[in-house]
Amino acid sequence: MGSFDGIKLYKDKGEHLYVQLYKAIKELIVKGELNNDEKLPPIRKLAKKLKVNNVTVVNAYHILEQEGLVYKKIGSGTYVSPDLLAYAYEERGVSNNLGSLSFIEQGQIQIQKNMINFASATPMSELFPVGDFKQALNEVLDRDGGHAFDYQESRGYFPLRKALIEYVEEYNIFANIDSIQIISGAQQGIDIAAKALLNYDDVVIIESPSYTGAIASFKSRGAKIIDVKLLDDGIDIEDLDKKIRIFKPKFLYLMPNFQNPTGISYSRDKKEKIIELCKQHKIYIVEDDYLSDLNFYSKDNATLKSLDINNELVIYVKSFSKIFMPGLRLGFLIAPPIFYEHLLLAKHSSDISTSGLLQRALEIYFTKGTWKDHIEYMGEKYKDVFDVMLKNIKKYMPSQVDFIYPQGGVNFWFKLPKGVSSKNLYETAIKKNVAIAPGNLFFVHQNDDRHFRLSIASVDSDEVEHGIIIISNIIRDLIEVKNDGEVKEEVYRPIL
């Protein structure tokens, strides 16, 4: 019976024998010691070998089947579900990867002057509302004097939290004051959620691909990261369901609107199914809403938080960096009551509080309504570039390149034909003064070499065409080289 020979069950362990057996077989599967579609030993044979009742084996197989780890063929037996080896490798891979702290550094792309920058998803400083914010800052200083420089309470400046309640109502989120926590940017929000919720070895499920900063934060907590493929209308629900059953994650980290890096938006149906699934399995969601305000063509940019009517599942993390000013380091989160204290402690141990001066200025900026005008202005600016980008991608990008049409946001995601390397594309484009983000950065194991992301946040609409022509021509050349059979085997080296 090979791998099954090592299984030992103990009657005096205080745990049912079938549970012990189920755990032992699960471990064999997760460790990759059984093959896809490998037949498990017949019930009677295994029962005899382990000196237990047939029912013990039947029950153990039944739980494995419920978790999707095995499947039954009527009249034939029980088999290991395919794809599980991939999960097992993922699990081990991540565990081995815990120390790779250079990850975030690799995400830093050096941008030269005059470069066409499709790599950064950061808005151009020319768009920042400096004049209006200066006025708000002056008002705070005239009004509050030195108090503006006191330590602010860790949960955040009360009037700002009140203003945010009104702000989120426009997005059908009905928060109460206690649920709102001010954070020094969404990155900190993700990080304190990880700190508050995760213990070493806990599992987090993320989309594949996902946001590099979140992956780095979960890794730093010693979490196991399991990824689930994104389809055109959002995460693959069947795979998610299976992995939830197998890995029992602490939470899902999701970006349901204009996802980073793919630009994909989840269908309403999928958003609702995810809420149902998480309710059923009692799993939390960390929703990263970094961009839902930049909706150009989507019919539904509802957040998961707006569907979490009882405020029990979703920790909603809101960034202002893409639509406002990233250097302010200001955002907020809305959490279910069960997390209030944990998040507050995590926030306090991170930086005590977010700058009181900036929170006060933001509150004035919000309550005066200047904010709305600015979002409208940013929306118009981005939509201009977005439309120019779409037009030029359609016009110039080689047909062999797969491309996801986003309906808003700032990111465009591409898949190169087989044999064409995104690292090559990145390196060649940089020499021609065009920066792109190679796809490997956005995957847990960073072993992707087929994808790349172009962002419109840092480009002018009148440089888009030139940039897309350069990228398209490089890809054409790379395809030609590949077709001539001259592609050299890639040697991996850090690129950023």
**Contact status: 107 vs ligand PLP (CB under 6 A):** no
- Does 213 bind ligand PLP (CB under 6 A)? Our answer is yes
From 145-153, 184-192, 244-252, 332-340, span contacting ligand PLP (CB under 6 A): 184-192
> For ligand PLP, which residue of 47, 186, 230, 401 counts as binding (CB under 6 A)?
186
- The answer to whether 257 contacts ligand PLP (rule: CB under 6 A) is no
Q: Which residue from 187, 354, 446, 458 is in contact with ligand PLP, where contact means CB under 6 A?
A: 187
32 binds ligand PLP (CB under 6 A): no
Q: Indicate whether 133 belongs to the interface with ligand PLP (CB under 6 A).
A: no
- Which CB, 21 or 255, lies closer to ligand PLP? 255
Strands 180-183 and 331-334, how do they pair? antiparallel
Q: Which is nearer to ligand PLP, 56 or 319 (CB)?
A: 319
Closest contact distance (angstroms) between CB of 351 and ligand PLP is: 13
**209 is a contact residue toward ligand PLP (CB under 6 A):** no
Span of 4-12, 108-116, 123-131, 183-191 interacting with ligand PLP by CB under 6 A: 183-191
Closest distance between ligand PLP and the C-beta of residue 148, in Å?
Answer: 22
Instruction: Name residues contacting ligand PLP, limited to 436-465 (CB under 6 A).
Output: none
For position 249 contacting ligand PLP by CB under 6 A, the verdict is: no
Considering only residues 380 through 409, tell me which ones interact with ligand PLP, judged by CB under 6 A.
none
Estimate the crossing angle of helix 54-66 against helix 17-30, to 10 degrees. 50
Strand partners of residue 326: none
Choose which of 152, 260, 265, 424 interacts with ligand PLP (CB under 6 A).
260
Q: Does 255 bind ligand PLP (CB under 6 A)?
A: yes
Taking CB under 6 A as the criterion, the residue among 68, 249, 326, 439 binding ligand PLP is 326
For 166, other C-beta atoms within 10 Å of its C-beta total 11
Ranked by CB distance to ligand PLP, the top (closest) residue is: 185
Nearest to 440 by CA among 178, 215, 248, 130: 215
The nearest distance, CB 418 to ligand PLP, in angstroms, is: 29
Please report how close the Cβ of residue 332 comes to ligand PLP at its closest, in angstroms. 10
Task: Tell the residue number behind the tokens 């909706």, with chain if given.
Answer: 295
Q: Which stretch binds ligand PLP (CB under 6 A): 37-45, 90-98, 155-163, 318-326?
A: 318-326
Q: How far is the CB of 77 from ligand PLP (least distance, A)?
A: 45
| Residue of 237, 322, 242 whose CA lies nearest to 273 | 237
From the CB of 188, what's the least distance to ligand PLP, in Å? Answer: 6
Residue number with CB closer to ligand PLP (4 or 218): 218
Residues found near ligand PLP in the complex (CB under 6 A):
121, 185-187, 211, 213, 255, 260, 288, 290, 319, 321, 326, 331
